[in-house]
Amino acid sequence: MKLLLTSAGISNRSIQNALIELLGKPIAESSALFIPTAIYAIPNGGDIVRRVICGSLGDPFCDLGWKSLGLLELTALPSIKKELWIDMLQETDALLVGGGDCQYLTYWMQQSGLAKLLPSLLNKMVYVGLSAGSMIMTRFGTTYGHHTVPAHSDKSLGFVDFALHPHLDYELFPENSMANIEKLAATIPLPSYAIDDQTAIKVVDGVIEVVTEGHWKLFNP
């Protein structure tokens, strides 16, 4: 299993080098699929999707110069014959999972059937998360509540046994101060990684590595 769990995308050379290492080849020779689903559950989600794809918002993610880039909308998958999208997934080198609402994304990962397929897909595919797209692979997720999925729905998939708190000390999210995240981490019975937008967590077959040109902190329970 190869995971690159970022706060804001491929924001610096160190994170980009980690991605290339996980791919085992240059980005220009690699295919990618972008999952925008989580973004629709936050205000102006449709426009944010457009800007992420075009590269006019945030750090490079979809606009890294992939050999090919496709979209995989999870909410559409239950109404499509599986062979149409499973074959596409099996031929993809990287799955790019965007940010937004963890609970909404987790719900559609499960409803679409992709959550069940991920363990086998990740034997050869690299999972690249951004914010909520990273958080759902851990055992801790959040929600903004701008959706109608059942309130008891899972907020994460639990592929790795830690919590991830992105956007550490980001000026537009004052609630993500180090002091606030430390208080939150104290309520979670798991190791918690607080990472800023210049940091990512690389996980390869359970081995965790922090890739950073910024700052981060590990809080143990």
Each residue's pLDDT tens digit, 49-77: 999 999 998 899 999 999 999 999 999 99
Q: Residue 172 pLDDT more than 90?
A: no
pTM: predicted TM-score of the whole model, two decimal places: 0.96
**pLDDT for 122-162, tens place per residue?**
999 999 999 999 999 999 999 999 999 999 999 999 999 99
Give whole-number Cα distances, 167 to 158, 176, 204, 219, in Å: 20, 7, 23, 16
**pLDDT over 90 at 219, yes or no:** yes
Q: Which DSSP string corresponds to 115-174?
A: HHHHHHHTTTSEEEEETHHHHTTTT-------S-S-TTS-S---SSSSEEE-STT-TT-G
| Spacing of C-alpha 53 from chain mean position | 15
What is the rounded distance in angstroms from the CA atom of residue 194 to the CA atom of residue 37?
A: 24
What is the distance between the alpha carbons of residues 188 and 92, in angstroms, rounded to a whole number?
35
Cβ neighbours of 160 (radius 10 Å): 20
**With b meaning 16 or more CB within 10 Å and e meaning fewer, what string describes 58-95?**
bbbbbbbebeebeebbbeebeeeeeeebeeebeebbbb
pLDDT at 18 (0 to 100): 98
Mean pLDDT of 70-90: 94
